[in-house]
Amino acid sequence: MSFFSDMFGKKSQAHSALGIDVGSSSLKVVQLRKERGAVVLETYGELALGPYGGVEVGQATDLPADVIAKTLTDLLREANVTTKDCGVSIPSARSLLTFVTLPRRDSPEEQKTIIELEARKYIPVPVSEVQLDWFTLPPSTAAEEESATPPATVDVLLVAVHNNEIQLLNEVVRQSGLAATFFEIEIFSTIRSVVDEPVKPVMVIDVGAASTKAYVVERGVVVLSHSIPHGGQDVTRAVATSSGIDIAHAEHAKKEKGFSDGEGEARVTATETTFSIIFEEAKRVLFQFEHEHHRSVSVIVLTGGGGVTKGLGEYAQKFFSIETRVADPFAKTQAPAFIRPVLKEIGPEFSVAVGVALRKLEEFG
């Protein structure tokens, strides 16, 4: 699958920012600029990686840097991207997120030392082989937050990315003739573009091609994360098998018809069955958070390529019985009214790219 949209031609008066989402099944780009304080969508595009890797559209790939760079160069040209200033996402599957409880130290340097020492226990490779970062999580209870005496421990989110992944992305950027100032794990890009609730817990269900990420965000920070080994390609394969059609047609049917009634009862059953497996696991993660933290998730946001499945929002609403919505990252941008319906429909696929571009814009002030 491929599509491109050059919103305002090739000329831009303001400094433009490019967000690049390197997914397992496709590449996405979004170019934004600021104008009178507003974020303006200039262009966006997507190219499936499957055909470059000898598999069907919508299926996960594992391609070398030169092939990804070739795909990205094609995408930049077709989407009429006009800037080389970019940020790039890191697939969650290529990173490690883990939560640890550590002794609290008043000195930032002492806290840093403790975190780096403890990280060795949780990362399955030598620390020298990864890029390490961490985030201190907010207090888990209102009593802790209001207490004048800080607790003796601090909850920390450890984030590690293998050096090989950074090297691959650096090579992709170099061969594509771009200038990247940062690489960011896609979870944090998605939070920036689709999570607006500043305080209450929000669950994000990111349905990728090969797997699904279910995580809870509170005050802008990931406080619980879980990977589910099923994704959009599993739905597509189930639809293909049940309906007796090939993968390409099944991918189209999933997105364009999905849960819709009428003809295609086998397709609907296959779609529901596969998503129910994903959602049951996500519901377990939700219950785990609510049990451990004694707080309720306020809303569920569906995103990722699987989020564009026709009727998924309505199905998820019934499944979880709490407010559920499909991500609309382009709502943070200005764009012509006539294209809004299209942007809303494809939005879940572009949550990461929009989030990366928004961060890049912040660098320009």
- Lowest mean pLDDT: which of 187-191, 258-262, 351-355? 258-262
**Per-residue pLDDT band at 60 (split at 50, 70, 90):** confident
Model confidence band, residue 11 (pLDDT cutoffs 50, 70, 90): very low
pLDDT at residue 14, rounded to an integer: 65
pLDDT (0 to 100) of residue 327 = 96
Structure tokens at 94: 């290529």
| Structural domain contains residue 322 | yes
Residue 241 lies in a domain: no
Q: pLDDT by residue (tens digit) across 73-95?
A: 999 999 999 999 999 999 988 89
Find all residues with CB under 8 Å of 110, minimum gap 6, and list them: none
If asked whether residues 87 and 126 sit together in one domain, one would say no
> CA-to-CA distance for 17 and 156, rounded, in angstroms?
31
Confidence grade of residue 245 (pLDDT, cut at 50, 70, 90): very high
192 and 279 in a single domain? The answer is yes
- Check residue 147 and give its pLDDT: 57
| pTM exceeds 0.85 | yes
What is the number of domains present in the chain? Answer: 2
pLDDT in tens, 276-322: 999 999 999 999 999 998 999 999 999 998 888 889 999 999 999 99
The yes-or-no verdict on residue 257 having pLDDT over 70 is yes
Does 38 share its domain with 153? Answer: no
Residue 129 forms part of a structural domain: yes
Confidence of residue 6 (pLDDT cuts 50, 70, 90): low
Residue that terminates a domain, selected from 160, 179, 213: 160
Query: Is the domain of 173 the same as that of 48?
Result: yes
CATH code, 289: 3.30.420.40
Residue 231 has pLDDT above 70, yes or no: yes
For residue 120, give its domain range. Answer: 94-160
With tokens 């200005």, the residue in question is 334
- Indicate whether 114 belongs to any domain: yes
- Rounded mean pLDDT of the chain? 89
Is the same domain home to 26 and 54? Answer: yes
pLDDT at residue number 18: 98
17 with 42, same domain: the answer is: yes
Question: Does residue 272 lie in a domain region?
Answer: yes
Tracing tokens 């890029």 back to the chain, one arrives at: 131
Alpha-helical runs (H) found in the chain: 50-53, 65-78, 108-122, 142-146, 163-175, 186-194, 232-243, 247-256, 265-293, 312-320, 340-346, 351-363
Q: Give the domain CATH number at 139.
A: 3.30.1490
Q: Are residues 111 and 152 in the same domain?
A: yes
In-domain check, residue 258: no
The CA dihedral of 2, 75, 348, 171, to the nearest 10 degrees, is 130
Closest-CA residue to 355 (of 319, 304, 299, 308): 304
How far is it between the farthest Cα atoms of the chain? 65
Q: Please give the average per-residue pLDDT across 101-130, as a whole number.
A: 87
In sequence order, what are the residues at sequence separation of 6 or more whose Cβ sits closer than 8 angstroms to the Cβ of residue 64?
168
Give pLDDT tens digits for 124-170.
Answer: 888 889 998 988 887 765 445 555 677 888 899 999 999 999 999 99
Q: Helices (H), strands (E): how many in the chain?
A: 12, 14
Which among 124, 142, 160 is the end of a domain? Answer: 160
One domain, residues 145 and 203: no
DSSP string of 262-330, one letter each residue: SS-HHHHHHHHHHHHHHHHHHHHHHHHHHHHH-----EEEEESGGGGSTTHHHHHHHHH-S-EEE--GG
Tell me, yes or no, whether 255 lies in a domain.
Answer: no
Q: 114 with 187, same domain?
A: no
The letter for the amino acid at 358 is L
